[in-house]
Structure formats: structure tokens, C-alpha cells
């Protein structure tokens, strides 16, 4: 028997991060629509937002990985109702892979236009996230799609380097009248396992409860059983990722903001109190804690996630969360490579018609088989 750790669909949901000091300098409005976004991206690349008299800035961060981690173009695609590498329901209620839907062709065409216009670094196809982060830290990139933690890295580094730098978090803008829905994925890729026939299978449940008590309970002792100032201090881990709440860190954000408003953080859990103290330090002028405030404070990433993706119901969850199917085990790596190579080539300027051939190849190389397996699993869940 095995228990999966708590998974949070919200923590990886993409947001749009924008240098709001550049918006103000160029007298641009905050992005409400994808048209707004495209105009901002062009202005950030062509209107010298850093004021150095050189054409050396870009509107949008991108890397050779296209999506995942930082920077993550899935948020841009979501603005066109396209969902890369996740399974979604079609009009008939069947599961289909978002990477091969017509909306993806539209999104890739727009990314190609941005690249041609110079709003995306010409060398993005050979740069990893670390190299792109260096550019953003140096003040050369004005927007990126990414996760709630981006203020902690790499945006904090930019704020440290430039006292005038300021970033704002925004929900994914839409290309039409239908609100954009952010894609979200939960990877159940680790489990706590009890061997069949074990004398005390209840031990794993006791460990789970102990972990919750010592890490997230009212009498938590993270300084003994987890970390101090970001450094692991435990000799023997009770468990890994053993706790969770129905809304993950969104609950932490709400508790911290409530305490900030009341001015009293005495009732906060140790983790929450740590964020509370850092935000108070930021409010007192400590820019080194800007990132914590931009994640957990008012108007930060969790505020945007809560107000839009949760309260507004604008979250598209990966509809497949089962184990790898036989087709995935055998062919997923080939298909993933095909997706990445094709999408990168199209962004770089290959004819958009190549998308149609890509869809055909994807199905022939195993996608059709995997789609059937995914739908067989989906039917078995009802």
C-alpha cells in the first residue's frame, strides 16, 4: 500500500510578471488583455525603458525549455486557451492532449510574431533558465510568465541590483472575450510505501501525523525538525512533503495578510510567522525581503491566484493524473522531444503550417495510442 504526498495545483499555476516601473516610465496601462500584453512587449523592446539610449531590452523572457520552471511560456499559451503538455476535455467529453489542439497553433503564431519583432531574445533557443535569469537580473527583460515563487528568484535579484525596479503580478490576460484559464498540474511522482505483510503498517500513518504536528501544527517545531533560515537542520527526516492544506500556501497567505492588518502575528504558525516577520522588515525599508512580500503579502502572487484562479474558477487542471500508461512508458520521451523541437522551430520562424504535420506525426509516433489509454483510464474513474 502507498500514500501519495499532498499535491498543490495552485503553486505552479502561471502568472504574468511585469516591470511596473517601466509601465509608468512609458506611460503604459497595466495588461488587461492579450492585446495590451503585446503592445507592452513591443514597447519594452523598442522604446528604451531602461533609458540607456540602446536597443538592448526585451519584452518577454523565454528559454530553450519553452515551459516549466522559469521562464514558463505556458501562461502565454493559456491566454489563447492553449494548454501545452496537459490533458483537457474536448467538446464531446473525451480527453485530448492540449499540445496538438488548434488553439496551440494560434499561440505559436503569436510567439513567432513577438520573436520576429525583437520582443524575445534571438538566442532564447540555446539559453537555459539560469542564463535568462541573469538577463532579467541585469534589467534587460520586462516581463515573464512564471510561478508564484518568481519574486524570490530571479526577481529579487533584479530588485537588489536596481533600487528603482518594481514588479507586479497579474492574472493571465485573454486574447478574446473569454477569460483565460491558467493550466495546473499535480505530479504524483513520489509515495510513502508500506511493504505487504509489514508487521506495523500503521507506522506510516503515525509518521504522517507526527510530521504534521511538528511542521504545521499549532505546536510546530520546524527549527528542530525542518529548517532554520533556509538550511536543513534535521538529522533524520520524519517524512518528505508530508503535510498540506486544501488550499496549500494560499491559506498561509491569507493568515499572514490578516495578521499584518491586525498588527499581531502571535497566533501564526511558525512558518507563517517567518513570512510575517520578513514582510514587516520589508515594510520597514528592507528591500532584501521584497520577494517574500510580493509572494505572501497584499497584492502579491497568492493574492492574484486566490482572487482569480480560485475565486474566479479560472484554473484548468490536467485531467490525467494516473500512472504512466504503457504507451507513455515507451513513447512519451519521443513525443516530448517532438513537441519541444517543433514549437521552438516555429517560434524561430519555421512555417506555421508545420504545426499540421506535427499533429499528424505526434499521433503516428504514439500519441494516438496514448490518447486511447488515457481515455480508457478516464472512463474507469467514473
For 276-316, how does the pLDDT look when each residue is reduced to its tens digit (9 = 90+)? 999 999 999 999 999 999 999 999 999 999 999 999 999 99
Per the prediction, the chain carries an average pLDDT of 93
> What class is the 12-190+313-382 domain?
alpha beta
- Which pLDDT does position 60 carry in this prediction? 98
* pLDDT tens digits along 310-353: 999 999 999 998 889 999 999 999 999 999 999 999 999 999 99
* 52-66, 181-195, 266-280: range with lowest mean pLDDT: 181-195
Q: Are strands 95-97 and 231-232 parallel, antiparallel or unpaired?
A: unpaired
33: which DSSP letter? Answer: B
pLDDT above 60 for 246: no
pLDDT above 90 for 57: yes
Give the pLDDT band of residue 216 (cuts 50, 70, 90).
confident
Residues 6+ apart with CB under 8 A from 97: 85, 86, 87, 362, 367, 370, 371
d(CA 297, CA 79): 26
Give the pLDDT band of residue 155 (cuts 50, 70, 90).
very high
Torsion sign over Cα 296, 302, 304, 306: negative
Span 82-109, average pLDDT: 97
- Which pLDDT does position 231 carry in this prediction? 75
125: which DSSP letter? Answer: G
Predicted TM-score (pTM) of the model is 0.92
d(CA 71, CA 16): 10
Contact assessment for residue 100 and residue 92, using Cβ atoms and an 8 Å cutoff: no
pLDDT above 80 for 170: yes
Contact assessment for residue 348 and residue 115, using Cβ atoms and an 8 Å cutoff: yes
d(CA 75, CA 107): 10
Amino acid at each position: 500500500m502507498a500514500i501519495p504526498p499532498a499535491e498543490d495545483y495552485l503553486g505552479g499555476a502561471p502568472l504574468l510578471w511585469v516591470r511596473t516601473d517601466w509601465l509608468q516610465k512609458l506611460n503604459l496601462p497595466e495588461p488587461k488583455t492579450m492585446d495590451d500584453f503585446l503592445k507592452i512587449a513591443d514597447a519594452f523592446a523598442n522604446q528604451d525603458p531602461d533609458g540607456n539610449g540602446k536597443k538592448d531590452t526585451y519584452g518577454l523572457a523565454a528559454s530553450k525549455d519553452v515551459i516549466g520552471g522559469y521562464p514558463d511560456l505556458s501562461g502565454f499559451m493559456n491566454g489563447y486557451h492553449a494548454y501545452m503538455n496537459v490533458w483537457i476535455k474536448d467538446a464531446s467529453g473525451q480527453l485530448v492532449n492540449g499540445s496538438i489542439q488548434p488553439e496551440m497553433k494560434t499561440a505559436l503564431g503569436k510567439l513567432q510574431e513577438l520573436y520576429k519583432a525583437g520582443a524575445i531574445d534571438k538566442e532564447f533557443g540555446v539559453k537555459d533558465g539560469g542564463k535568462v535569469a541573469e538577463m532579467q537580473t541585469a534589467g534587460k527583460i520586462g516581463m515573464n510568465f512564471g510561478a508564484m515563487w518568481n519574486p524570490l528568484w530571479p526577481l529579487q535579484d533584479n530588485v537588489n541590483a536596481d533600487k528603482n525596479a518594481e514588479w507586479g503580478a497579474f492574472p493571465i490576460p485573454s486574447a478574446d472575450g473569454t477569460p483565460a484559464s491558467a493550466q495546473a498540474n499535480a505530479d504524483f511522482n513520489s509515495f510513502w510505501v508500506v511493504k505487504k505483510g509489514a508487521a506495523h503498517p500503521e507506522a506510516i500513518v503515525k509518521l504522517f501525523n507526527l510530521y504534521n504536528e511538528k511542521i504545521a501544527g499549532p505546536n510546530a517545531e520546524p527549527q528542530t525538525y525542518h529548517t532554520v533560515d533556509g538550511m536543513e537542520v534535521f538529522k533524520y527526516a520524519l517524512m518528505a512533503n508530508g503535510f498540506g492544506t486544501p488550499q496549500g500556501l494560499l491559506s498561509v497567505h491569507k493568515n499572514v495578510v490578516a495578521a499584518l492588518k491586525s498588527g499581531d502575528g502571535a497566533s501564526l504558525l511558525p512558518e507563517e510567522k517567518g513570512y510575517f516577520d520578513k514582510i514587516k522588515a520589508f515594510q520597514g525599508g528592507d528591500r532584501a525581503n521584497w520577494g517574500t512580500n510580493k509572494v505572501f503579502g497584499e497584492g502579491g502572487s497568492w493574492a492574484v491566484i486566490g482572487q482569480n484562479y480560485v475565486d474566479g474558477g479560472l484554473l484548468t487542471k490536467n485531467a490525467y493524473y494516473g500512472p504512466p500508461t504503457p504507451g507513455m512508458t515507451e513513447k512519451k520521451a519521443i513525443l516530448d522531444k517532438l513537441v519541444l523541437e517543433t514549437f521552438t522551430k516555429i517560434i524561430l520562424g519555421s512555417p506555421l503550417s508545420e504545426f499540421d504535420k506535427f499533429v499528424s506525426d505526434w499521433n503516428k509516433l504514439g500519441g494516438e495510442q496514448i490518447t486511447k489509454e488515457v481515455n480508457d483510464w478516464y472512463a474507469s474513474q467514473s
